[in-house]
Amino acid sequence: MNRLLLLVCLLVAPLMTASNNTSAAARRDNTCIPFDYVHDREAAKPATVTLRAAVLTNTVPLAFYDENITSRNSIEPFPSYRGFQPALMRHLITIAADFDNITLHWELEQAPPFSYAKQFEYMSVDCNSTSNRKGGFPLEDCNRLDLIVGDYYGYPSRSIKTLLTPPLLTTAAATVQYVHRAANKRQITTLREAVALQEPVCLLDESHFDDQATERFLGLLVERCYTHDECLLWLKEDRCALFVEDKLQLNYLAVKDPDLHVTRQTFDEQYIVWPLNARLDPQIQQLIIRWIYQAKVTGILDELYDEFFSIAFCPLGSSGVNCHLPCSTAHGLADRYGNCVCESTKWTGSDCTVMMEENTNLISTSLKIVSYIMVGINFTVVAICAFWLWINRNTTQVRVCQPIFLSLILIGCLISSSTIFALAAEDEGEQDVPGCMAIPWLYSVGFSITFGSLFAKIRRVYTLFRAAEHIEATAITTTETLSIVNGILLIDVVILTTWTVVDPLQWKRRITSMDKFGDPLSSEGYCHSDHWMVFAGIIAALHLGLMLLATGMCYMSRKIPTKFHEGKYLSIAMISNLQIFVIGLPVLVILGSDPQSSFFVRSAIIWMNDLVVVTVIFGNIMYSHHQESKSSTESTDEFIISKHTQTRAQGRWVYASHWGKWFAVGQDLGEKSLRGRLKRRRLSQTHASAFSNLLLPPLLTRASKV
């Protein structure tokens, strides 16, 4: 049976071992030997194996030489040689002793600089042959070493020239980026992105990846550097967006420098191997291969990879420098420095166990208190004015100013100021807030009543004195004046009703920020409807147009003496309304959707607008009521004389309803005669005050021609 197996093996072996670089006899010794012969060879294993190796010490972190460690670690084999591969060689000593009871010795030497290719040729099967591309080497040089320790890739062409060990590591071309790139520069993560954006990348001059990157990515802009330090310096100086190099090398650099980040792009995958001398004893070759496989099976290669190419993180659920602190397994992980980093901004705390509540951006309590104080001030002022108006309702001064319009002004300001209550209404979720639609209703209705009353009064002043200048008979009744107020109010009510029915304001909540899992972190609530800008724009245009018209009337009535009416103070109130309206709207636009600032500004506009109207109108009336003097009579005389002088050529009779007397203003009535008649009457202080304040309303209400 053994002979049959041997015959089959001899026939198949040339096909199976064509890629091996040993002699034919050696190949037969390794592949076509009967079981009993293999058993005999196992029994004849050497007790001691000495391997001679040259170490390429410029391949950090795979292998490098450190003279400073020699005295400190004299017990450790070859302590001056550091890196992944020397560490593996020390582990192979233990594996050889544990699994094969063989004492393994290493005889190491540093390979000369820039001898990468030459050292490999020493291992090749044609080292001493004229077919060697280097022209052949002396036989003693070809037999001096058993293997080369370095960063050799397992190319197919190399496997033909010599025997290669199993892969020690898997690597590929990769890229690294600088995490603190300039703010005006875009972070590049792939070479294709660099080509598209014409961003240069750094490559080691004449390296393997220099050729691979330029061949694979046509149009790639390249900055060629000569050392790793130079390439990294250029990367941090923004001369290049990426640095292309071996992935293992980049991982090692990123472990040492937290400002470097290895991207996910890889290409040109390779295996790092040891080239074995083609003339090495086949039994020793098999032992080396066996020990390397054993290092893989026992996890030694994985441990070494983590030591040199991975960042050491604390185990799951722990954090701290010594991994002695807790860290939530559900919401956090420890970073390279031992800090427990929460996976979402929704969680916080040193161990990521404290859940952050959603910031709903509700109006702060302090702002609401300030706004309620504003409302309280307006309500108090309105109450004081209403009480004073009721107490003095039968006095001449109040009757002249028409109590019904004064009452409407107070009612309008009261309704308008109540808008602040509606503005403060809000909800943490998306439930409907009735205050949304109450905002335009309260403000517009209050504004219409207040402003309509002011507009009607200033229009009445303007109309009467225009008629007086031309000595024309005119009559403006209270009903006519009230109809103006009702008309303005009706227009607003129609617009508001249409808005409420067609597209009412509803409470909405917009998420402004969320974590990577979609959980809301911050949101803003606001009143919204699809066409609110249309309806609000119509109302704003109407109010602005009326204010401009009233302001124009105030300007044209500016020469009317203040003693005859409250026109000056009506003008002040009108202009204040206009100023607040014109300035307030742009400020609200600038503030945007900031709920805190927007609420305060809107509340302040409403409060100031209503307070100015009430204090200006009622302050003037109260002051005039308590500070009337003889100067009122003199001002009245001068005004009548002035009007008589302007119109003495027109023979008219004017009836003053308050006095119940006829005054003749004829061609033969001179200024001196008129002055004498006024003096002879010697009006009492009360009558003089009444005439001064009632001249505008009643003087022309019952005028008739002769």
478-514 residue pLDDT tens: 777 788 888 888 999 999 999 999 988 888 888 888 8
Cα distances (angstroms) measured from residue 266 to each of 228, 260, 269, 270, 454? 19, 16, 8, 11, 78
Cα distances (angstroms) measured from residue 401 to each of 409, 441, 461? 12, 28, 11
**Does residue 164 or residue 669 have the better pLDDT?**
164
Asked if residue 649 and residue 545 are part of one domain, the reply reads no
CA distance 580 to 606: 9
Examine the pLDDT at 700 and tell me if it is beyond 70: no
**For residue 513, is it within any domain?**
no
Which residues lie below 8 Å from residue 375, measured CB to CB, with a gap of 6+? 417, 418, 420, 421, 607
Residue 443 exposed, middle or buried by CB count within 10 Å (0-12, 13-18, 19+): buried
CA distance 19 to 79: 36
Tokens 């019952």 label which residue?
A: 702
**For residue 225, is it within any domain?**
no
224-248 residue pLDDT tens: 999 999 999 999 999 999 999 999 9
661-665 and 652-656 beta bridge pairing: antiparallel
* pLDDT at site 590: 66
Tell me how crowded residue 385 is: count the other CB atoms within 10 A of its CB.
22
Tokens 């008589």 label which residue?
A: 644
Asked if residue 477 and residue 384 are part of one domain, the reply reads yes
Tell me how crowded residue 33 is: count the other CB atoms within 10 A of its CB.
17
Confidence band of 589 (pLDDT split at 50, 70, 90) = low
**For residue 200, is it within any domain?**
no
**DSSP string for residues in 482-551:** HHHHHHHHHHHHHHHHHHHHHS--EEEEEEEEE-TTS-EEEEEEEEE-TTHHHHHHHHHHHHHHHHHHHH
Tokens 């617009």 label which residue?
A: 495
Asked if residue 51 and residue 19 are part of one domain, the reply reads no
The CATH number that applies at residue 71 is 3.40.190.10
Calculate helix-pair angle for 403-417, 478-502, nearest 10 degrees. 20
Look at residues 573, 602, 626 and tell me which one is the last residue of a structural domain: 626
Asked if residue 599 and residue 452 are part of one domain, the reply reads yes
The CATH number that applies at residue 439 is 1.20.1070.10
Examine the pLDDT at 115 and tell me if it is beyond 60: yes
Examine the pLDDT at 418 and tell me if it is beyond 60: yes
Looking at every residue in the chain, the average pLDDT score rounds to 77
Confidence band of 432 (pLDDT split at 50, 70, 90) = low
636-652 residue pLDDT tens: 444 444 444 444 433 33
User: Which of 366-380, 453-467, 652-666, 672-686 has the weakest average pLDDT?
Assistant: 652-666
222-225 and 318-319 beta bridge pairing: unpaired
Q: Which two tokens stand for residue 392?
A: 């003095």
Share of the chain above pLDDT 70, in %: 73
* pLDDT at site 520: 84
**For residue 370, is it within any domain?**
yes
* pLDDT at site 591: 62
DSSP-assigned letter for residue 289: H
Examine the pLDDT at 701 and tell me if it is beyond 60: no
Asked if residue 692 and residue 603 are part of one domain, the reply reads no
**DSSP string for residues in 105-117:** EEEEEEPPTT-HH
Asked if residue 570 and residue 685 are part of one domain, the reply reads no
CA distance 521 to 502: 34
Q: Which two tokens stand for residue 555?
A: 């300007």
**For residue 226, is it within any domain?**
no
> Nearest-CA neighbor of 121 among 107, 101, 135, 110?
135
pTM of the predicted model as reported, rounded to 2 decimal places? 0.51
Decide: 652 and 665 in contact? Cβ < 8 Å: yes
Asked if residue 639 and residue 499 are part of one domain, the reply reads no
171-206 residue pLDDT tens: 999 999 998 888 788 889 899 999 999 999 999 998
Look at residues 593, 626, 659 and tell me which one is the last residue of a structural domain: 626
Look at residues 626, 650, 677 and tell me which one is the last residue of a structural domain: 626
Examine the pLDDT at 689 and tell me if it is beyond 90: no
Asked if residue 385 and residue 283 are part of one domain, the reply reads no
Which residues lie below 8 Å from residue 521, measured CB to CB, with a gap of 6+? 345, 346, 356, 358, 359, 513, 514, 515
46-77 residue pLDDT tens: 999 999 999 998 888 899 888 776 545 457 78
**For residue 658, is it within any domain?**
yes
Highest mean pLDDT pick, 1-5, 16-20, 162-166: 162-166
Asked if residue 141 and residue 52 are part of one domain, the reply reads yes
**Does residue 389 or residue 572 have the better pLDDT?**
389
CB hemisphere CA count around 189 (13 angstroms): 3
Q: How many domains does the chain have?
A: 4
Total residues belonging to the chain: 706
Asked if residue 683 and residue 573 are part of one domain, the reply reads no
Give the domain range for residue 163. 45-167+276-302
Q: Which residues of 94-107 are buried (b: 16+ CB within 10 A; e: fewer)?
A: ebbeeebebebebe
Confidence band of 653 (pLDDT split at 50, 70, 90) = very low
**DSSP string for residues in 450-481:** HHHHHHHHHHHHHHHHHHHHTT------HHHH
Confidence band of 293 (pLDDT split at 50, 70, 90) = very high
Asked if residue 101 and residue 161 are part of one domain, the reply reads yes
103-110 and 661-665 beta bridge pairing: unpaired
**For residue 476, is it within any domain?**
yes
> Nearest-CA neighbor of 446 among 543, 371, 533, 553?
543
**For residue 207, is it within any domain?**
no
Examine the pLDDT at 593 and tell me if it is beyond 50: yes
**Does residue 667 or residue 490 have the better pLDDT?**
490
* pLDDT at site 24: 34
Decide: 309 and 246 in contact? Cβ < 8 Å: no
Confidence band of 602 (pLDDT split at 50, 70, 90) = confident
What single letter denotes the amino acid at residue 620?
Answer: N
Cα distances (angstroms) measured from residue 94 to each of 81, 292, 640? 17, 12, 126
Tell me how crowded residue 672 is: count the other CB atoms within 10 A of its CB.
9
* pLDDT at site 164: 94
Highest mean pLDDT pick, 97-106, 357-366, 437-446: 97-106
Cα distances (angstroms) measured from residue 496 to each of 76, 382, 434, 505, 547? 91, 26, 15, 11, 19
Asked if residue 423 and residue 377 are part of one domain, the reply reads yes
Examine the pLDDT at 38 and tell me if it is beyond 60: no
